[in-house]
Amino acid sequence: MKKLFLFIGVLSMSFMSAQDMTDALRYSQQDILGTARYRAMSGAFGALGGDLSALQINPAGSAVFLNSHGSVTISTSHIDNDVNYSDRLANRDSRNLNFNQVGAVFIFDHYNDDAIINKLSLGLAYDQTANNVNEFAAFGRSSNSIDNFFLAEAQGLPLDLISRRSGESIDQLYSFLGESEGYATQQAFLGREAFVIEATDVDNPNNTSYFSNIAPGVFDQEYYYESTGLNGKFTLNGGAQINQVFYVGFNVNSHFINYDRVTEFFEGNNNAGSNVNEVTFTNKLSTTGGGFSAQIGGIAKVSEMIRLGASFESPTWYYIEEETTQRLETFSDTDGRSIVDPDVINIFPEYKLRTPAKATGSIAILFKQHGLISLDYSYKDYSTTKLSSDENISFSNLNREINDNLQGASTIRIGTEWRVENWSIRGGYRFEESPYKNDLILGEKTGYSVGTGYSFGKFKIDIAYDYSEQERTEQFYPNSGFNNAALVDSQMRNLTFTFGMNF
């Protein structure tokens, strides 16, 4: 049974080591994994509506429905990661099946063409906003050792602080350091307890300088990453048709986060004079959170062919909780194996995350009942992402880093649909700018999609395939003394099935 402890809120600088800019960005991004029709057109629905996932882009889309409608969607996902670390290539993929959309819109007609309000709509929907299942591995050779991670955290700390007293267990001191000193000091303790680092003067309890037991040279390294979970939101929607040509709507959204990650780093060396020849460092993170946001939007029939749409999504205000566990193992050719495995779960104080707002403008060209072309443009300023706390924890340094490194990013989505009797043929393209000023950290995302559907009248079946690709630099331990990283090229493939029904 794991012991539990809570970091004291006033330890702001130590607490900061547990959160970084990557975490803030991960929960600020949304990618509606909606209906097959929506995905087949790459999500370009801001001026169209008439689809359950379309109202996640523009809430006015619910009032476009001619009849009450419901749908349910499942999808398969396949992520293929090509990893380059120190000019060595590795490939690993992950697959999973998701229940990623369900919802219904209820239409209330006034049946009076002369009325100002011609139609009212009420929508209830669930949409998955992120698939957190991912896996990759990196293999390479480096002259930079993991010992730098532990040395950077230890320098300046008194030896007495990270040394066990007589009769004191690893669990007890690891827990004490977390409660009283913070996450960074725990790392220094792990490094010394596993003999990765040692004090310059072991007989001086006030010693504050440390050296590595790993000799310089060449290091064979392996890094494994595996994450699971999903993010999603539940939506309550209301809409109206006005004067036959205007549609307006609003959403109130309840969001949730479920993200779990395991990383394991292995390093081996045969360097002359090295007292430690192998290091295995395992970290587990579990994140849960909940939040809320609101949306408002409108669609206008400019003519029989042209529709314009505009929508605004407020920031999402999240409350997030995180837990971590750690394990460090070393091996020496002369002294054997040392295992430091604290039987402790680090429970961090709850913090608040405010994600950026998003504005979307849309245009659609309709060719009567034969087909359509649709374009959406969205803008989201990621530099406005902010972390805060009710526990008197300061995130000023991290917020400054976010402001300095993130930027406003544009997204363009283009979709088309053509009808032949009861069949529909669809396609789409999307382009998303990097939220980073330096796009070597996270590159642009591009993708395309195709799909088809068949209407039986009351019932409808749709299928879609979409592909996207994005490169990123995966730093193994961000904001630490060990800055090694791998280049990850991810290709995402999804196959989506939707069953819809009018009622």
Sequence spans of domains, the chain? 3-139+215-425+435-442+455-502, 146-213
pLDDT digits (tens, 9 = 90+) for 233-263: 999 999 999 999 999 999 999 999 999 999 9
Instruction: Name the percent of the chain lying above pLDDT 90.
Output: 88
The residues, ordered by sequence, that sit 6+ positions from 150 with a Cβ below 8 Å of its Cβ are: 187, 188, 190, 191, 192, 196, 197, 481
- Kindly state the helix (H) or strand (E) to which residue 327 belongs, with its residue range: strand 317-332
Q: What was the pLDDT predicted at 4? A: 54
Collapsing DSSP states into helix, strand and coil, what is residue 265? strand
In this predicted structure, the answer to whether residue 8 has a pLDDT above a threshold of 80 is: no
Position 394 confidence tier, pLDDT thresholds 50, 70, 90 = confident
CA dist 26 and 132 (Å) reads 10
Q: Which of 86, 338, 333, 331 is nearest to 222 (CA)?
A: 86
Q: What was the pLDDT predicted at 11? A: 39
CA dist 490 and 445 (Å) reads 10
Q: What was the pLDDT predicted at 334? A: 85
Q: pTM of this prediction?
A: 0.90
In this predicted structure, the answer to whether residue 5 has a pLDDT above a threshold of 80 is: no
pLDDT digits (tens, 9 = 90+) for 173-208: 999 999 899 889 999 999 999 999 999 999 999 999
Using an 8 Å Cβ cutoff, are 293 and 315 in contact? yes
CA dist 380 and 255 (Å) reads 18
CA dist 55 and 51 (Å) reads 7
Average the pLDDT over 48-66 and give the result. 95
Alpha helices, DSSP H only, in 147-205?
Answer: 147-154, 170-180, 183-193
Gyration radius of the chain's alpha carbons: 27
Position 32 confidence tier, pLDDT thresholds 50, 70, 90 = confident
CA dist 166 and 233 (Å) reads 52
pLDDT digits (tens, 9 = 90+) for 336-362: 999 999 999 999 889 999 999 999 999
Q: What was the pLDDT predicted at 15? A: 41
In this predicted structure, the answer to whether residue 276 has a pLDDT above a threshold of 60 is: yes
Q: Which of 439, 448, 297 is nearest to 358 (CA)?
A: 297
CA dist 169 and 178 (Å) reads 14
Average the pLDDT over 81-86 and give the result. 96
Q: What was the pLDDT predicted at 392? A: 80
Alpha helices, DSSP H only, in 311-417?
Answer: 396-405
In this predicted structure, the answer to whether residue 111 has a pLDDT above a threshold of 80 is: no
Average the pLDDT over 154-170 and give the result. 96
CA dist 128 and 71 (Å) reads 14
Using an 8 Å Cβ cutoff, are 197 and 163 in contact? no
Q: What was the pLDDT predicted at 485? A: 96
Using an 8 Å Cβ cutoff, are 262 and 277 in contact? no
The CATH architecture one would assign to domain 3-139+215-425+435-442+455-502 is Beta Barrel (2.40)
Position 31 confidence tier, pLDDT thresholds 50, 70, 90 = confident
Strands 386-388 and 371-381: unpaired
Backbone angles phi, psi at 434, to 5 degrees: -70, 140
Q: What was the pLDDT predicted at 20? A: 80
Q: What was the pLDDT predicted at 16? A: 40
Position 413 confidence tier, pLDDT thresholds 50, 70, 90 = very high
In this predicted structure, the answer to whether residue 13 has a pLDDT above a threshold of 60 is: no
Q: What was the pLDDT predicted at 115? A: 83
In this predicted structure, the answer to whether residue 416 has a pLDDT above a threshold of 80 is: yes
The residues, ordered by sequence, that sit 6+ positions from 273 with a Cβ below 8 Å of its Cβ are: 215
In this predicted structure, the answer to whether residue 3 has a pLDDT above a threshold of 50 is: yes
Q: What was the pLDDT predicted at 18? A: 57
